[in-house]
Amino acid sequence: MKVIEDFDLTDYNGYNIFARCKKVFLPDNESDILEVAAMHPDILLLGSGHNIILSQTYYEQPMMIFNGNFNAISKDPSNLNLVVEAGALMADVSNFALENSLSGIEVFYDIPSSMGGAVVMNAGASGEEIKDVIMKVRYLNLIDLSIYERSADQIGFEYRNSFFQQNPKNIVLKAWLNLPTGEYKNIADKMDLVKKTRWQKQPREFPSCGSVFKRPQGMFVGPMLDALGLKGFRIGGAMISEKHSGFIINVDNASGSNILSVIAEVKKRVKDSYGIDLEIEQRVI
């Protein structure tokens, strides 16, 4: 396990916000995670950082990062299940499934999220959600430092929500995915289409953390913001994308406060015009 002091977080969050942390732990396994949790029960989990808004420029509170570590992916020899550590990126999980001709997670290819983050927020796209393939999840409770497992029906999955979202003192360690077999070419073609479509519709050329707001019942956020003339709205270096107004992008050294100010203005205008209280998908720390 690596322990780094005065750690630069710029490359470890999707918005590329500049911030530093007094001490960061990069665990390699569950034993490392237990050791850190025992020493620092107030640890901040950054995960892969692709669903995070950093609201501070310096963090005294220690962090634990899963990004390029704690990322093993394997196939259960007794069945078709994938066993995935929380730090594995969904792109890598999708590629591993492809190599084994396993279908069901093609839509998660090119989603900038870790396995753990995908479980916590019940990530999804094109009408599919991670809950559709989860069998069970192994997790650490930071309060009693015990490891537990929950089956999918015990995780309380909802739209962009889960037991883990509501109970952040529980850290996802590992997930078991139940995937059907498929034809390699069909799986690869779907993954290629997913990536091509996203690059056509989303502002991938700028740092962002993807879709900012949860979709209100029966409505879509992008068209609402377009109608309010918010496409291209900017505060400091943070701007609502002109390509897809559901995204906030970092166009010029945006700070966390820039991004939060844009979010606040969007929420105010939507509330004033539609009477809707928008909720954000991203986590502010």
Q: Which residue numbers are catalytic? A: 160, 211, 281
Largest distance between two CA atoms of the chain: 56
d(CA 190, CA 106): 6
Helix (H, G, I), strand (E, B) or coil at 249: strand
3-state helix, strand and coil shares in percent for the chain, rounded to the nearest 5: 30, 25, 40
Burial zone of 33 (CB within 10 Å; 0-12 exposed, 13-18 middle, 19+ buried): buried
Pairing of strands 20-26, 2-8: antiparallel
* Packed helices 90-99 and 184-201: angle between N→C axes, nearest 10 degrees: 150
Tell me the pairing of strands 128-129 and 124-125. antiparallel
Count other Cβ atoms within 10 Å, centred on residue 164: 23
Q: Which of 2, 87, 15 lies closest to 51, judged by CA? A: 15
Pairing of strands 44-47, 63-65: parallel
| Residue labelled with tokens 């962090």 | 63
Six token digits for residue 126: 């094109």
Distance set, CA 7 to CA 57, 79, 224 (Å): 12, 41, 39
